[in-house]
Amino acid sequence: MKSLPCLFIVLAAVHAAGQDGDFRPWKDTQGRIIQAAFVSATPDSVTVRMADGKEHQIALVRLSADDQAFVRGKAAAPTAPAAKTAPAAAATAPASPDRLPIEKRTWPENVVVPTKSIEIEVVEENPVARKCVYRSEGFEFTSQAKLAGSVMKEVARTFEATKTLVASLPWGVVCRPPEGFERYQAALYETRNDYVAAGGPPNSGGVYMGGDKVFRVPFQSIGLKMLGKTYAKDADYDGGTLIHEITHQVMDDYLRFLPTWVVEGTAEYTEMLPYNAGKFRAEAHKTSIRDHIQEMQKRGYAVDIGNLETHMTMNNDAWHGIADTSNKNMGQLYFRSALLVYYFCHLDGDKKGTRFIKFMDAVYGEVEALRAFFRDPRVKRFPDGRFQYPTSFPPPDMKQETAPFKHLPILLGERTYSQIAQDITAAYKEIGVKVSVN
């Protein structure tokens, strides 16, 4: 089944509703209309049939409120049993087996990496050429040195566990490798010099680069050390920075549609959860945020979000304009983002994170829309990242000035930034933390 392109095209010639009683107008969130017939629905999408007989799947978040209500009504309506002589209808698969309706999502207690996901396949081992390729279920690792299967399994454990955690949180994130890749890509460098020469920032322990979709990390940052003539894994190594960057990698599809504070705040959230040997204790989030705050205070950071509207509406250029001036300024931005994401996940409103989950669902709609756009045969992609499309078929908004902030009203609700600032102060006070915000 082919997905409908992200933005509706007002067709020059449509199948009139009078010609087929099943046909009706469908309106997207930007007011554009098509004529199509309802076929089936899942919790996240609706399948419609066009006048030419082709069926397309549309993410519900792309539709108007009236059309979403129509779909839910159709999905809830009882259907008459099929005649015994009729052929069996094919079951409609959900948009993703990992996504549940918002009301059925819960915050996990413990998240454990599946054993099968860290089974290692050796693809290539050429130590002379410094190219050894290994695969786990979701990742492909290119290492400069040969690694024993048991060591590679321990390296893969953190990557796969982080992917499992992100997919298990009620944010509804679907973890899929970038278009054109069967697995997420990771490059492992034997020395820091090798890492920096490959583009890794000199003062970093690892970095996910969205340009080529590769996570780069030196051996030291994944706890690898030379014992005799072979590398071994240090079981006591703290992989917090690694978890932060892997979170960016498995959420790559979402990053262009998220404000920078959400990008970094979600990664700070996963990093602060207690982790050991493939297991995240997600239920310990309340202790984790308190411990994180205490640690940041010891480092000299104020528990201060500053001006809430400024932080929540800061684009990527403005963020880096502040972060690049000093490590202290960068750390404060990350700290503020962690406080905000935690608030929206566990302290806001019903304390179930409903607003944040709805916000992330709207972003999921943008992700699906962009994937559908690039799958359309009218769009031509080039190796350097450029793409070409007809003027009558524009892509979704990807501008950093607007795209990340499109769905912020979901988080705001009917509140002003000033009201939310007061809510944040009060909510943190309830858990024994004093947070300044204006």
Q: How far is CA 291 from the centre of its chain?
A: 25
Predicted confidence band at 45 (pLDDT cuts at 50, 70, 90)?
confident
**Scanning the structure block, which residue is given the tokens 């990093």?**
271
pLDDT of residue 238: 67
pLDDT of residue 92: 27
Helices and strands (H and E) in the chain: how many: 13, 20
Predicted confidence band at 38 (pLDDT cuts at 50, 70, 90)?
confident
Best-predicted range by mean pLDDT (82-86, 94-98, 125-129, 385-389): 125-129
Please tell me the distance from the alpha carbon of residue 224 to that of residue 151, in angstroms, as a whole number: 8
Please tell me the distance from the alpha carbon of residue 374 to that of residue 394, in angstroms, as a whole number: 11
- Report whether pLDDT(2) > 70: no
> How do residues 252-265 score in pLDDT, each as one tens digit?
999 999 999 999 99
As given in the structure block, the two tokens for residue 230 are 């072979």
As given in the structure block, the two tokens for residue 154 are 């321990």
Pair 308, 421: CB distance under 8 Å: yes
> How do residues 153-179 score in pLDDT, each as one tens digit?
999 999 999 999 999 999 999 999 988
Mean pLDDT of all residues belonging to the chain: 85
As given in the structure block, the two tokens for residue 131 are 């190219």
pLDDT of residue 84: 36
pLDDT of residue 416: 96
Predicted confidence band at 30 (pLDDT cuts at 50, 70, 90)?
low
CA-to-CA dists, residue 325 to 34, 156, 315, 330, angstroms: 50, 35, 16, 8
> How do residues 90-105 score in pLDDT, each as one tens digit?
222 233 445 788 888 9
| pLDDT over 70 percentage in the chain | 87
**Scanning the structure block, which residue is given the tokens 């890492």?**
195
pLDDT of residue 402: 94
Q: 15 Cβ partners below 8 Å, 6+ apart?
A: 23, 35, 50, 51
| pLDDT over 90 percentage in the chain | 61
CA triple 371-373-374, angle to 5 deg: 70
As given in the structure block, the two tokens for residue 106 are 């819960």
- Report whether pLDDT(89) > 50: no
CATH numbers and ranges of domains, the chain: 2-76 (2.30.30.700), 105-255 (3.40.30), 258-438 (no CATH)
Q: 14 Cβ partners below 8 Å, 6+ apart?
A: 34, 35, 51
Pair 45, 59: CB distance under 8 Å: yes
Of 153, 91, 92, residue with least CA distance to 122: 153
In SS3 terms, 77-123 reads as: CCCCCCCCCCCCCCCCCCCCCCCCCHHHCCCCCEEECCHHHHCCEEE
- Percent composition of the chain: helix, strand, coil (DSSP 3-state, to 5): 40, 20, 40
pLDDT of residue 78: 45
Predicted confidence band at 423 (pLDDT cuts at 50, 70, 90)?
very high
| 227-233, long-range: CB < 8 A, 24+ apart | 230/148, 230/151, 231/145, 231/147, 231/148, 231/151, 232/151, 233/151, 233/154, 233/155
Phi, psi of 363 (to 5 degrees): -65, -40
The residue with greater pLDDT, 345 or 385, is 345
Predicted confidence band at 354 (pLDDT cuts at 50, 70, 90)?
very high
pLDDT of residue 57: 73
- Report whether pLDDT(381) > 80: yes
Predicted confidence band at 64 (pLDDT cuts at 50, 70, 90)?
confident
Predicted confidence band at 185 (pLDDT cuts at 50, 70, 90)?
very high
Of 287, 147, 316, 333, residue with least CA distance to 223: 147
Concatenating the DSSP letter of every residue in 129-146 gives: GTEEEEE-SSEEEEESS-
- Report whether pLDDT(219) > 50: yes
Please tell me the distance from the alpha carbon of residue 311 to that of residue 351, in angstroms, as a whole number: 22
Of 280, 315, 269, 342, residue with least CA distance to 408: 315
> How do residues 276-333 score in pLDDT, each as one tens digit?
989 999 999 999 999 999 999 999 999 999 999 999 999 999 999 998 888 899 999 9
pLDDT of residue 31: 67
CA-to-CA dists, residue 57 to 39, 45, 50, 92, 435, angstroms: 10, 7, 11, 11, 44
pLDDT of residue 205: 86
pLDDT of residue 403: 94
Mean pLDDT of 416-435: 96
- Report whether pLDDT(65) > 50: yes
- Report whether pLDDT(151) > 60: yes
The residue with greater pLDDT, 99 or 25, is 25
Predicted confidence band at 83 (pLDDT cuts at 50, 70, 90)?
very low
